[in-house]
Amino acid sequence: MTSEANKALVRRYYEEMWNRWDLSLAEELLAPGLRFRGSLGTEAEGIRGFCRYARGVWLGFPDFHNEVVEMAAEGDLVAARMVFSGTHRGEVLGIGGTGRSVRYEGIAWIRIEGGLIAEVIVMADREGLLRQISAA
């Protein structure tokens, strides 16, 4: 796949699957052996493991949104600068829902294999998130 096609795949992953909560697209976008490491410290393997992780995020932030600010791609690798936002409604990092709105930044490093997303590593401002949900 071309770099542009890889970026389009990553955009679909965030805009159509994550932001619309449409996990029915998982088998169309994700490799069966997917390796995923999220910014909340969670690791998941395979499509089922990823879907469990995503549902957990949505329990904590029912309106969770991923904004792709910019992307760069080379070969089978895509880097995306991200802004994550949502309302803290359920337990996240051991902290029960507070009703606070959060917004934090990060970067996703994504490897494409055979036209599918094979690996995702998300590095985000976890400390910033913790400050926002634990502020008195």
- Per-position DSSP letters for 15-57, written without gaps between them: IIIITTT-GGGHHHHEEEEEEEE-TTS-EEEHHHHHHHHHHHH
| Domains of the chain, residue spans | 3-134
pLDDT of residue 42: 87
pLDDT of residue 39: 83
Cα separation, 84 vs 72, in Å, equals 18
24-38 pLDDT, tens digit each: 999 999 999 999 998
Q: How confident is the model at residue 119 (pLDDT cuts 50, 70, 90)?
A: very high
Topology of domain 3-134 in CATH is Nuclear Transport Factor 2; Chain: A, (3.10.450)
Q: How confident is the model at residue 6 (pLDDT cuts 50, 70, 90)?
A: very high
* Residue 136 scores a pLDDT above 60: no
Cα separation, 121 vs 81, in Å, equals 12
Q: What angle do CA 40, 131, 102 make, to 5 degrees?
A: 70
Cα separation, 6 vs 25, in Å, equals 16
The whole-number average pLDDT for the span 3-31 is: 97
Query: What are the φ/ψ torsions at residue 96 (nearest 5 degrees)?
Result: -65, 160
